[in-house]
């Protein structure tokens, strides 16, 4: 495995550092425009900022993972990942040592599966996704690119989740439910029927609020 460069030095970065180290990765450094060169985040040095993405990616010496978190809008994560690939960089996929990923599941490039998460048989996780601590993705669920399934959330079997969706902590998406457009599912919400419009959905059962998400 090539040494990792992490892009984004906030709280989510700490979780990914821990997962990456547990899986045997070597971390070369962090790029973060808000941090001072030489500072350490979780014991990992800050080695540059976003301006360093292209030359480091073009060098062929590193792999990359986006460690900027996202809730309502993953567009910044998407843009940073695109810069890596446009420059010829290699995207890593991080699976924590305590996570369970079925050999029948597929995990996209640039995705992270954090500690104690479960990805069951024939589930599909898209590029750039975050499957956070303790999250459960059941059999044959499809998770679109850059979706974030937060801590202890559950996506049940045969669900289809649109790209760029956020599923909050402890939320549940019932079996065979489709989230057809990017949405924000609030913490603890229970989605029991298909979602066909973008928006924020909260409650039990989940209903759409008037809040604009994007």
What 3-state DSSP class applies to 82?
helix
Residues serving a catalytic function are 139
Confidence of residue 211 (pLDDT cuts 50, 70, 90): low
- Tell me what the mean pLDDT of segment 41-68 comes to: 97
The predicted structure's pLDDT at residue 25: 98
DSSP alpha helix (H) spans, the chain: 11-22, 53-59, 75-86
Confidence of residue 70 (pLDDT cuts 50, 70, 90): confident
Supply φ then ψ for residue 76, to 5 degrees. -65, -40
Sheet strands side by side (includes 124-125): 106-107, 124-125, 142-143, 160-161, 178-179
Dihedral sign of CA atoms 71, 73, 78, 79 in order? negative
């Amino acid at each position: 495995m090539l040494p990792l460069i992490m892009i984004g030095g906030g709280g989510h970065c700490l979780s990914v550092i821990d997962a990456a180290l547990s899986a045997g990765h070597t971390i070369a450094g962090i790029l973060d425009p808000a941090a001072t060169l030489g500072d350490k985040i979780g014991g990992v040095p800050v080695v540059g900022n976003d301006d360093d993405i292209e030359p480091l990616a073009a060098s062929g010496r590193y792999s990359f993972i986006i460690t900027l978190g996202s809730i309502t809008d993953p567009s910044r994560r998407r843009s940073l990942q695109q810069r890596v690939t446009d420059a010829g960089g290699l995207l890593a996929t991080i699976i924590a040592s305590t996570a369970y990923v079925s050999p029948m599941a597929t995990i996209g490039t640039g995705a992270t599966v954090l500690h104690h998460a479960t990805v069951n048989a024939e589930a599909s996780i898209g590029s750039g996704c975050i499957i956070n601590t303790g999250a459960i993705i059941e059999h044959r669920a499809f998770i679109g690119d850059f979706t974030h399934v937060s801590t202890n959330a559950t996506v049940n079997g045969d669900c289809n989740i649109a790209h760029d969706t956020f599923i909050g902590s402890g939320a549940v998406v019932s079996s065979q439910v489709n989230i057809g457009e990017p949405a924000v599912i609030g913490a603890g919400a229970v989605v029991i029927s298909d979602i066909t419009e973008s928006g924020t959905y909260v409650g039990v059962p989940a209903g759409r609020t008037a809040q604009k998400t994007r």
